[in-house]
Structure 1
Amino acid sequence: MIKRIVQWIGAALLALSLFPAQASAAGYTQTRYPIVLVHGFLGWDAIGPYDYWFGIADTLRKDGAQVHIAQVTAANSTEVRGEQLLAYVKRVMAATGAQKVNLIGHSHGGPTVRYVASVAPQLVASVTSVGGVHKGAPLADIVRGTVAPGSFSETALASIVNGVAGTIAFLSGDSSTQMSTAALASMTTAGASAFNTRHPQGVPRSACGEGDYQVKGVHYFSWSGAQPFTNLLDPIDASMALLSLAFRGEKNDGLVGSCSSRLGRVIRDDYAMNHLDEVNQVAGLVNLFETNPKTIFRQQANRLREMGL
């Protein structure tokens, strides 16, 4: 009996050891078109060796993906960021000879990549939104409702946020002008609604449904988390848990509601992740009892590969 148990355990361990090798097979993430990663509000491409997409780009490249990390303004409107991204996409295409790109945006990067797909669909094979703020965020509404436009309070708050955004931009080598009030306007419910009227592709028509999977040749996907506190060692998790109170019981990742994150084909909107876990932050301190975010990005790259994208 003991011998049989030992043999069974050995077989199980062998099977487990083979699984990563299969998932890491050469070409697993090799999409037809380059992948462009687009950061969110107060984001960056890389500050020294520390990038916004902590370990994700390298994980995708390991098995064949061609990955480019965009730098757009840390704090500005969706349209301004979108125009910057459009220029970046054209540079990527010129440098690589690619006819299209696969865009993946996190947080405010979600609407940003949607903008490019809306105004230049011929350049985009797919749009993937990760924790995207597509129907506004309660925190933005609270700030806008508390701080009157043109008031001293708004000026003071904008100065602080612009200062933070400017520091991030300086450290990452970006010289863009920071406009936190424009970013705030884009992320309120009213601002998101107005943007969706102009650029409706992939946005669900119901409060918490799915959107069109494909519009003008562009494929739309999304996923997001729904657990604000996930790791005791992560210094940001407590803040995520506190900010989640603004949702009044609505499922959320600490900054974006699950329903607001939904776009096109919804892969999942309830991963046990918070808003930063979705991009493997902070420094990989994510939920040990949930699928690793790097694995989810790999799976999406493989999904795009299998679709010929």
Structure 2
Amino acid sequence: MKQLSVIILFLGCIIAQNNYPIVLIHGFMGWGPNEMGGYHYWGGRKDYVEMLELDGHGVFVVSVGPVSSNWERAIEVYYQLKGGQVDYGRNHSEKHNIIQEPEGKSYEAIYPEWDENHPVHLIGHSMGGANSTYAELSINPGNI
């Protein structure tokens, strides 16, 4: 609960300064919307995403592989935001013996505008925090 309070305090600080959309990335073994029968990763029995939206904030929640690598999770964040078929890259896929473009991992963009002129707040819990940094540094270094 203490960590959640810190996250909410942090969200309050950044929201007060601008109206950039918020992208929430769950941590290791986490889940996305509609994956746990009404139990919300971001709030438990309460729905913090809905609370933020009711306050007028744009919020996007991504769902990444709960035990995937930082690289794979960052790639999944990117494709969920920008849209398209997930592509983990030839070198990464060969090195880790995974399918480069897995079937069923093609997404409609939830925020295709994301670029250096349309920034977002990437908020991650636990491993999701590392993934947000990795996504920015590895995929869109100009967005920092």
Q: After TM superposition, list the pairs within 5 Å mapping 1:55-70 onto structure 2.
A: 55-70=47-62
Cα distance in 2 for residues equivalent to 1:99 and 1:29: 17
Describe the shift of the 1:96–1:61 C-alpha distance in structure 2 as closer, same or farther (beyond 3 A): farther
User: Partner residue of 1:103?
Assistant: 122
For residues 92 and 121 of structure 1, the distance between their equivalents in structure 2, rounded to whole angstroms, comes to 20
1:66 is matched by which residue type in structure 2? G
Shift of 1:31: 4.0
TM-score scaled by structure 2?
0.58
Identity of matched residues, %? 34
**Map of 1:35 onto structure 2:** 22
Q: Quick one: which amino acid aligns to residue 20 of structure 2?
A: Y
Indicate the structure (1 or 2) with the bigger Cα radius of gyration. Answer: 1
Distance 1:58 1:68 in 2: 11
Q: Aligned equivalents of 1:83 and 1:49: distance in 2?
A: 27
**In structure 2, C-alpha distance between the alignment counterparts of 1:58 and 1:29, rounded to whole Å:** 18
Q: How far apart, in 2, do the equivalents of 1:121 and 1:96 lie? A: 13
For structure 1, the 5+ residue unaligned runs are 1-27, 125-217, 219-309
Q: Is the 8 A contact 2:81 2:114 kept in 1?
A: no
Aligned match for 2:41, one of 52, 58, 73 = 52
**What is the 5 A alignment of 1:257-268?**
none
- Counterpart-to-counterpart distance in 1, 2:114 and 2:135: 19
Matched, 1:71 2:63: yes
2:80 is the alignment partner of 1:93: no
Given that residues 89 and 101 in structure 1 are in contact (C-alpha distance below 8 angstroms), is that contact kept between their aligned partners in structure 2? no
When the two chains are superposed, the root-mean-square deviation of aligned CA atoms in Å is: 2.5
Tell me the SS of whatever aligns to 1:83: helix
Amino acid at match of 1:115: Y
Alpha-carbon distance, 1:86 to partner: 1.2
Change (3 A) 1:112 1:76: same
Letter in 1 for 2:134: Y
Q: What displacement does 1:81 show?
A: 0.7
Which structure dedicates a bigger proportion of its chain to helix? Answer: 1
Question: 2: CA distance between counterparts of 1:50 and 1:95?
Answer: 30
How many residues get paired? 97
How far residue 30 of structure 1 moved from its aligned partner, in angstroms, is 8.6
CA distance in structure 2 between the partners assigned to 1:58 and 1:84 by the alignment = 23
Q: 1:107 to 1:61 in 2, by over 3 A?
A: same
